């Protein structure tokens, strides 16, 4: 398993990372300042990590979606073994804010450093994890090499490999292969993902199919719906350029319901307002403390931590990141709430989830602005179909309600 690193590829990787250092340091500083998180920049540079009296079990989730998906597993493990020290790391300041608001008392959050060898070495020396559990496809060559040298076993959970990763340059795929050969176990979300890990360089002895842990986040209590005083349709987790397409589709319906847009990255607010200015819509903005009234046509929900509550209150949910080629967003969340869900054609990052919901007739997939407009109209005019679509979606999700236990059955062997 501890194959010699591909030296030329590793040298190229470290050189590129070194060249990017000034930009990355500036970006970390800007992100920390934006979220008023003093620890963000220093920890991303490998400084100021917490110390533990006993070596922790360390979980890593890259951003908000992965943190939310991991939370039920962390909560269950913490209840089972309250004396076991647990550390959760993530990469983004927004995920840090979500983690700190949701983590059980006693579970520590920190930021994983950028994959500079020195920064990663300081992180591992400071925190001294006994086991690393990595969500999805975070393959960092320096981190995996240091964990291998320090005999810290690594397990990948909810493992997935994108087409983009498989098509990476040969030198980068060599590094991915080396990372996988330094991994104790790969727990994949589907048979297709397992096969992709094998293609990338994992061995069949390492790989098991367990299932998609993102189903686990959906089995708890539903949030209280956000009441805006009017019926509303939600466009959730929209991406750059997508709001313009959604507005065109919505205006073509001629409907009087309120349209709520919740962008994936709230910091894009100024760009969104500039893009939509030509439509001259009466608009209110949640981050400014504004509430919609009877004449409001568009409500921008540019806040963190409220998305599922907006989903719970919506009549119809369009899941963004799918009308533009960004790979989609997690369509399981509104499906679990029994909502009528519409999505666009671009779901490369959620192809497994989309396949299950399409198979269960629990989602409508459109391929154009015109198709989105028609889907909005159909579902808003036909309450019976809207309800049936939501119930089929909820039933599909319910078939995977034991996902936390599936993962814990495997992880208990290593804890």
CA 87, CA 191: separation in Å to the nearest integer? 29
Residue 324 dihedral angles phi and psi, to the nearest 5°:
-115, 155
Strands 131-135 and 154-159: parallel
Token pair for residue 333?
């969340």
Torsion of CA 362, 368, 372, 374, to 10 degrees: -100
CA 352, CA 265: separation in Å to the nearest integer? 24
Residue 167 dihedral angles phi and psi, to the nearest 5°:
-100, 10
What residues are annotated to the active site? 66
| H or E element in which residue 373 lies | helix 369-381
The answer to whether residues 57 and 129 touch, using CB atoms and an 8 Å cutoff, is: yes
User: 């790989």: which residue's tokens?
Assistant: 207
The answer to whether residues 296 and 283 touch, using CB atoms and an 8 Å cutoff, is: yes
Of 136, 134, 145, the residue nearest 197 (C-alpha): 136
Q: Which residues contact 186 (CB under 8 A, 6 or more apart)?
A: 155, 156, 159, 180, 194, 197, 202, 206, 207, 208
Of 94, 92, 87, the residue nearest 108 (C-alpha): 87
Angle at which helices 7-19 and 170-181 pack, to 10 degrees?
110
Q: Which residues contact 40 (CB under 8 A, 6 or more apart)?
A: 28, 31, 32, 93, 96, 111
């Amino acid at each position: 398993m501890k194959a010699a690193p591909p030296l030329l590829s590793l040298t190229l990787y470290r050189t590129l990372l070194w060249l990017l250092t000034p930009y990355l340091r500036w970006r970390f500083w800007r992100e920390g300042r934006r979220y008023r998180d003093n620890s963000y920049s220093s920890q991303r540079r490998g400084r100021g990590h917490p110390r533990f009296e006993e070596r922790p079990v360390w979980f890593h989730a890259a951003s908000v979606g992965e943190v939310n998906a991991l939370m039920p597993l962390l909560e269950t493990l913490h209840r089972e073994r309250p004396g076991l020290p647990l550390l959760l790391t993530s990469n983004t300041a927004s995920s840090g804010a979500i983690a700190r608001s949701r983590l059980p008392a006693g579970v520590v959050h920190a930021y994983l450093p950028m994959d500079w060898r020195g920064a990663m070495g300081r992180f591992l020396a400071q925190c001294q994890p006994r086991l690393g559990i990595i969500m999805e496809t975070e393959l960092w060559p320096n981190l995996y090499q240091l964990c291998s040298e320090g005999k810290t076993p690594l397990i990948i959970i909810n493992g997935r490999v994108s087409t983009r990763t498989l098509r990476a340059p040969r030198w980068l795929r060599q590094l991915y292969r080396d990372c996988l050969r330094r991994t104790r176990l790969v727990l994949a979300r589907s048979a297709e993902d397992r096969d992709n890990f094998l293609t990338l360089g994992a061995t069949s002895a390492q790989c098991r199919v367990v299932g998609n842990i993102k189903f686990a986040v959906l089995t708890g209590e539903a949030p209280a719906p956000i009441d805006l005083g009017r019926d509303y349709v939600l466009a959730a987790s929209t991406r750059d350029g997508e709001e313009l397409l959604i507005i065109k589709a919505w205006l073509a319906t001629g409907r009087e319901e309120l349209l709520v847009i919740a962008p994936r990255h709230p910091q894009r607010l100024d760009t969104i307002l500039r893009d939509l200015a030509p439509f001259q819509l009466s608009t209110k903005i949640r981050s400014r403390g504004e509430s919609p009234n009877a004449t409001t046509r568009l409500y921008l929900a540019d806040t963190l931590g409220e998305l599922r509550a907006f989903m719970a209150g919506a009549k119809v949910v369009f899941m963004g990141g799918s009308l533009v080629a960004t790979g989609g967003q997690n369509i399981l969340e509104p499906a679990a709430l029994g909502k009528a869900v519409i999505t666009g054609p671009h779901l490369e990052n959620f192809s497994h989830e989309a396949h299950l919901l399409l198979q269960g007739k629990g989602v409508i997939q459109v391929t154009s602005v015109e198709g989105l407009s028609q889907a909005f109209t159909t579902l808003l005019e036909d309450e019976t179909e809207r309800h049936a679509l939501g119930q089929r979606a909820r039933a599909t999700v319910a078939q995977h309600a034991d996902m936390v236990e599936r993962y814990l059955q495997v992880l208990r062997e290593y804890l």
